[in-house]
Every structure is written in structure tokens, then in C-alpha cells.
Amino acid sequence: MRLHEYQAKGVFADAGIPTPDSRLATSVDEAVDAGRDLGYPLAVKAQVHVGGRGKAGGIEIASDEDELREAAETIIGMDLKGYHVDRVLVEAAVDFTDELYLGVTLDRGEGEPVVMVSSEGGVDIEEVAETNPDAIARERVDPAYGLHSFQARKAVSEAGVPRDVSRAVASVVETLYDLWEANDASEAEINPLMVTDGGDVVAADAVMNVDDDALFRHPNLAEMEEESYTDDLERKAGEYGFDYVRLSGNVGIIGNGAGLVMTTLDLVDYYGGDPANFLDIGGGAKAERVANALDMVFSDPNVDSVVFNIFGGITRGDEVARGINDALSQFDEIPKPVVVRLAGTNAAEGMEILNTELVQVEGTLEDAVQRAVANAEEVNQ
Amino acid sequence: MSVLVDEDTRVVVQGITGGEGNFHAEQMIEYGTNVVAGAVPGKGGQEVHGVPVYDTVHEAVRREDADASVVFVPPAFAADALFEALDTSLDLVVAITEGIPTQDMTTVNRRLRETDTYLVGPNCPGVITPGEAKLGILPGNIFSSGNVGLVSRSGTLTYQVVDNLTQRGIGQTTAIGIGGDPIIGTSFIDALELFEADPETEAVAMCGEIGGEDEEDAADFIATEMDTPVAGFIAGRTAPPGKRMGHAGAIVSGSGTGTAESKIEALNNAGVPVGDTPEEVADHIEGFL
């Protein structure tokens, strides 16, 4: 789960990391009121879950009320990389002499947390990592001990942070690590951490991703969840609780298990088709869930043909067959041709139950995919 | 021969009184697995499918001389169950549980390094030596005994590839589903090392997917350390960058690492043919035998 900037800043500020004065605004009038409280110059920042907001026009600087009004009018209601902007953070601008980058994440390869510090903050840090990896100091953390203070000092020193603020920055690094750990974050990042003329540090942005699997022990964070979707289908998938990714093609794909569903997508592509989606019904799905999955895929107007690929392990073929029957028996006419391939646990029982008047059945993955691709081509002829 | 498990493996089922634990303990016993005990805090003294249940793994190991465990404990308590398993002298712990918080797994993983235990998973289908024992949720009927090792990050993809092999009469020594989470115990390299050392394993099928760099690391290992031929499959060629495709680990970063292309290239460079379809993986394996 990704927190909005204003939410992450709240978590960071509560932990003792300095952040600029700011107000959240959902209308132009609220933004103007915020400007009167905060003074100028200030920044108006779209609160949506997309990277690169600045480049995409989601962040504007205003030096007076007219500019603020204009910026708020532009940003509130805009469509930013497919996401609707319904709120902005209005924030006091910070006079800075340096911009730093601080981050804590998981080093997957090592299976350990890693703390990162760079004096090249304020820009696309992924680009820095690509073009000049030495500009980012990294410190791996032994999870049995947590981050030692010396490691924070070492990373700050190796990153070439100005000496007059090194203590203050090391302190923010330690706090950032502590809140990363305490909140089961997968990622906590400040970019930039601004160094002011007076030698203070201020977190001008805040990024925090929390491990979905750990939300059960952080009800305060779970409450902040504001899913944002690029379209109604993704919203629906969220409500049904599916792992779903919408793609640009016309062959709808439903399967169980991420690896097998990805493989089905790849095979649709391999046999000359174009996948419309990734939809994993997950392990042990019951009939209702299967019916919901079909509803999802039928709801996509781009879909011309559907392939169901189930290899039962913990999922049982008879349950899946029942779900397919339930979903399809509600139609006078099946909206799009459905090919089913059932294998594994209780597949034989499933095949007996499956109403083959409503679906086409294939015995192998390869045959099922090729038939679905052919069905889609036929629709388009 | 086999790796990790065989007919003599003595298994404790942690969480045997829960829904999944109960169901799959029965399936494992029916398959012929030597399930000797269950372990569930507070449920000691019961019997499930004729198997005695103990309050602690320690007691189960002491009384029944168990040497492996399979974990069906819900995610909130799974890390504790894994620490408990690692606190005994078990050779193998198979963690089926899906959704264990990642930071819990970083500490489990840290503890694991201090032991000689193999941890398979979490969020995996388990380990099976066809005809001898299965620890986990794999459908036993699709496997057959033979001389091909299989290691996979994805459960259902494991079944698919095994099916392609079995259908044409190619049996397996052992199949290991290592799981798709970002932090897992046994890696591709660990599994490949075991298969390389197993005289019965004449070829290995390796199923990877997008995300992380484990397949690239495995390719290095195959090139430098293995004589046993390996054929590969990589799921997720069509996955768009930045989107999470189900598995926690299955996401392509924007920077180009962890893509299907980079994995396939690394494997090809290590002399590993990569099938475009699961059927082609079976073709390559057949060619090796």
C-alpha cells in the first residue's frame, strides 16, 4: 500500500523528521485559504499515486495568490497519467542550499534492509543509480541488530554530505530507518531532503510504501488506504480482491497462480494474439470467485474472447467448473466465446460438471490458448 | 535417489489442526508420506488422521524423531512457527503459508543462516519426490518417478511443466517449488546444487519469472559449477514494467533488470535453452536424456 505524500509526511513528522508547513486542499478556495495561512512562495502538489508528478505538470510553484489560484485551478481535477486529481497539498516553499536523497528499502538479493544516502537529491534517483551509482552511499542492515548509529554516520560521510549538517542528516537517517521498521514499510524515502541557509534540514517530499501483508498489525495505516485506479475495471478488481492488471489486447485471460497466468499471457502473445488482462483468481478459489472473475473479464469492452486456464493444486477443478456454469447460465447468449482448460486436482470431476454447451473445452494449455486466439481473430474478421 | 525428501523423511505438520493443515496432512499421508506428528500450541494430546499432536515442535521431534516439518500456520503467526522449527535440529522446513510480512522473513532468513536447515518457501507448493513423499500441497497424481529434477518459483507453473514431462513419460527425481516471494529460504542455486550432487538427476528443468535477479545468479552458477544439463522457462515476457503481476516478486523494475529478456539472455549465455512454451521445455529435457 502506497501512502499519499501528505500521509507519509504526517508519519514522518510524528516521528520527528522536520517537514514544511502545509495544508491539504480539495478545492481552489481551500487552496487560496491555505496560501493566506502559509505565506508565499509555496508549492501546489497533486496528491496521486504516480511517480514523476513534477514533470507531468502535477506540481507548480506560486509566488502570489493569483498564481496559487491559477495553479490550483489547473491541478485540481486534472488527469495525471490516467489518475484523477481531487486534492492538492499546499506547502510553504523552502529556501535551500543543497538537496539530498535518503532512502530505506529491502535489498532483495541479500534479504536485508539497505539504507541509502546521496548528495545528489532533488532529481530522478533511479537515473542517478543508473548513470552514477557511486553517488549513492549504501549501508546494509543486519535485521538482527537494526541500524547502528555509526552506519548512519558512515553513509552520510561517504555520500559527501556537507559537514555542518552531517549530524542532523545522520539523525534523520536513523529516524527514517526506525519508522521503516516500525511501520513494516517496504520503502521509505525522502527526495529531496533540503538543507537550508541556516543549516537546518527539511523533508520536502516523502514516499512510503507499506507491506500489504503486514497491514493487519497497523490499523492506523490501513485506515489511510485510498486506492486509486486508472479505470472502473481496476476498481472492480479491487472490490473483488483480484490480482488484476489491464492490458491493451483483446484476449481475456483467467487462471490460477501468478506464474501460470503470466505463462498464459505469454502464450497468447506467442501464438499471435494480444492479452487483454492478467487475472489471477488465486489459490483455493470457490465457485463465486470464479463467477466474479468471468464477470470482470466480460465487463472489459476490449475483450473478444476468453481463455480459462486452471491447474488445480489447492484449487479444485469441480469448484471452478461450478463457478463457470453459474456465471454463464445467467446469459441467454454467452457474450464472448470461452475456452476452458482444466487440469490437476479434481479436474476429472470438474470436466463432468462443466456445461460444455456453454464453453469450448481443450485438453492442453497450448491448444486452449490457440483456440482463444483464433476465436478473437474470428470476431475481428 | 532424490533430494531433500524421500520415503524415510519423518514429517511434523505445524498447524495440523487448521483447515489447510488438516486437509493436506491427510493428502500427504494418502500419498505415502511418513507424517509422524503434528505440532500446534495448546492442542497437544489430540490425534489428527491417526497422527499424534504435540504442543511444541521440540516435543514432536524428541518423541517421534522427526527430521522435517511442513508449515501451514497463518501468516500472523508463521514467523514464530518458523523460528520454532529452526530452533530444533530439523533438516528441512517447508513453509506453505502465503502472505507472511516481508520484514518477518528478513529476520527468519537471518536466523536461517546460522543453521544447517533447508527452508523451502514460504508461499510455495512444497517439495515432492514422486512415489516416496510429498511435503506440501502439490497434486501428487501428475508426478511420476524418474530422473529429472525440477525447481520453480511458481506453484501452478510447476504443475504445468511436470504435466508436460509426465505426459511424454519423463519422470522426476524431486520437484521443489521455492516460492515467488521476495525473500525465500532455498534459492535456485541451492536447489541446483542439490540436483548437481544427486547421481540420479540427469537433467534439471528450472522455471523462473520476472522480478529480482535470482535467475541471473543461477545462470552464473550453472555456467561455472554444473555438469548436469538444465532447461529453463521464464514467465512474464508480456508483463508491462512497473506492474505487480500477482507474485510479490513478479514486477519488472523500470531500470531493465529483472526482465524476462535479461533472464533468458543470461540463461542462454550459460548454455541453458529456454522454452517459449512449457511444451518446449519438455522438448529440451527430452533431448538431454
Per-residue pLDDT tens for B208-237?
Answer: 999 888 999 999 999 999 999 999 999 999
Of A15-19, A320-324, B39-43, which range is least confident?
A: A320-324
Task: Read off the C-alpha cell for A174.
Answer: 536513523
Mean pLDDT confidence for B87-116:
96
Residue A5 annotated as catalytic: no
CA–CA distances in Å: residue A373 to residues A24, A266, A337, B19:
49, 12, 11, 39
**Mean pLDDT, residues A96-109:** 92
Instruction: Please give the model's pTM, rounded to 2 decimal places.
Output: 0.92
Per-residue confidence (pLDDT) for residue B242, from 0 to 100: 67
- For B12-33, what is each residue's pLDDT tens digit? 999 999 999 999 999 999 999 9
- What is the pLDDT of chain A when averaged over all its residues? 92
| Arithmetic mean of pLDDT, A292-300 | 92
Average pLDDT over residues A326-349: 91
pLDDT at A324: 93
Burial track B238-266 (b if 16+ CB lie within 10 A, e otherwise): bbeeeebbbbbbbbbeeeeebbbebbbeb
Q: Mean pLDDT over residues B159-177, rounded?
A: 96
| B31-70 residues touching A, CB cutoff 8 A | none
Amino acid at B45: G
Q: Which pLDDT does position A127 carry in this prediction?
A: 80
Interchain proximity A262–B106, CB inside 8 Å: no
Is residue B256 scored above 60 in pLDDT? no
Selecting from A111, A181, A262 the residue whose C-beta is nearest the C-beta of B250 gives A262
**pLDDT at residue A203 tops 90:** yes
Taking only the tens place, the pLDDT of each residue in A115-158 is 999 998 887 777 887 788 888 999 999 999 999 999 999 999 99
Sheet holding B118-120, edge to edge: B47-48, B51-54, B35-39, B11-14, B68-71, B92-95, B118-120
Helix and strand numbers, DSSP H then E, in chain B:
9, 13
CB contact under 8 A, A313 and B125: yes
DSSP B117: -
Alpha-carbon gap, residue A135 to A286, rounded angstroms: 51
pLDDT at B255: 52
Q: How many CB atoms lie within 10 A of CB B114?
A: 9
Q: What pLDDT does A235 receive?
A: 84
pLDDT at A273 over 80: yes
Q: From CA B90, how far away is CA B124, in angstroms rounded?
A: 19
Query: Three cell numbers at B214?
Result: 535470482
What's the grid cell of residue B251?
514486477
Burial class (CB in 10 A: 0-12, 13-18, 19+), B19: exposed
Q: What is the 3-state secondary structure (H, E, C) of chain A?
A: CECCHHHHHHHHHHCCCCCCCEEEECCHHHHHHHHHHHCCCEEEEECCCCCCCCCCCCEEEECCHHHHHHHHHHHCCCEECCEECCCEEEEECCCEEEEEEEEEEEECCCCEEEEEEECCCCCCHHHHHHHCHHHEEEEECCCCCCCCHHHHHHHHHHCCCCHHHHHHHHHHHHHHHHHHHHCCEEEEEEEEEEEECCCCEEECCCEEEECHHHHHHCHHHHCCCCCCCCCHHHHHHHHHCCEEEECCCCEEEEECCHHHHHHHHHHHHHCCCCECEEEECCCCCCHHHHHHHHHHHHCCCCCCEEEEEEEECCCCHHHHHHHHHHHHHCCCCCCCCEEEEEEECCHHHHHHHCCCCCCEECCCHHHHHHHHHHHHHHHCC
* Cβ-defined contact of B107 to A344 (cutoff 8 Å): no
Q: Which three cell numbers stand for residue A232?
A: 472502473
Distance separating alpha carbons of residues B51 and B29, to the nearest angstrom: 10
pLDDT band of A277, cuts 50, 70, 90: very high
Question: How many whole angstroms separate alpha carbon B128 and alpha carbon A215?
Answer: 33
Which residues, numbered 188 to 247 in chain B, qualify as contacts with chain A under a Cβ-Cβ cut-off of 8 Å? 207, 209-210, 212-214, 217, 233, 235-240, 243-247
| Lowest mean pLDDT segment, chosen from A109-118, B38-47, B191-200 | A109-118
The most confident of the ranges A33-37, A123-127, A330-334 is A33-37
CA distance A123 to B63: 61
Q: Please name the residues between 129 and 168 in chain A that touch chain B, using a CB distance below 8 Å.
A: 129-130, 142-144
In contact, A380 and A346? CB cutoff 8 Å: no
Radius of gyration of chain A (CA): 26
A237/A240 Cα distance (integer angstroms): 5
Judge whether residue B53 has pLDDT over 60: yes
**What's the length of chain B?**
289
The grid cell for B210 is: 520476472
* Interatomic CA distance for residues A35 and A295, integer angstroms: 47
ipTM of model: 0.91
What pLDDT, on a 0 to 100 scale, did the predictor assign at position B251? 61
A215 and chain B: CB distance < 8 Å anywhere?
A: no
Q: Are β-strands B230-235 and B203-209 bridged in parallel, bridged antiparallel, or unpaired? A: parallel
Cβ–Cβ below 8 Å for A243 and B155: no
Test A366 with B277 for CB contact under 8 angstroms: yes
Average pLDDT of chain B to the nearest whole number = 94
B102 contact residues in A (CB cutoff 8 A) = 106, 184, 186, 211, 213-214
Name which of B101, B159, B213 is nearest A313 (Cβ-Cβ).
B159
Q: Is the pLDDT of residue B249 over 70?
A: no
Mutation choice for A interface testing from B22, B100, B158, B238 by most A CBs within 10 A: B238
Beta strands per DSSP E along B40-169: 47-48, 51-54, 68-71, 92-95, 118-120, 126-129, 133-136, 145-152
The answer to which of B43-57, B114-128, B244-258 has the lowest mean pLDDT is: B244-258
Mean pLDDT of B116-132: 97
Pairwise CB contact (< 8 Å): A243 & B210: no
Q: Strand pairing of B145-152 and A277-280?
A: unpaired
Higher pLDDT, A314 or A73: A73
Reported as a pLDDT band with limits 50, 70 and 90, residue A241 is confident
Partners of residue A309 on adjacent β-strands? A255, A341
Of all residues in chain A, the percent with pLDDT exceeding 90 is 73
List active site positions of B.
247
Q: What's the rounded mean pLDDT across residues A316-331?
A: 91
- Cα angle B158, B162, B164; round to 5: 120
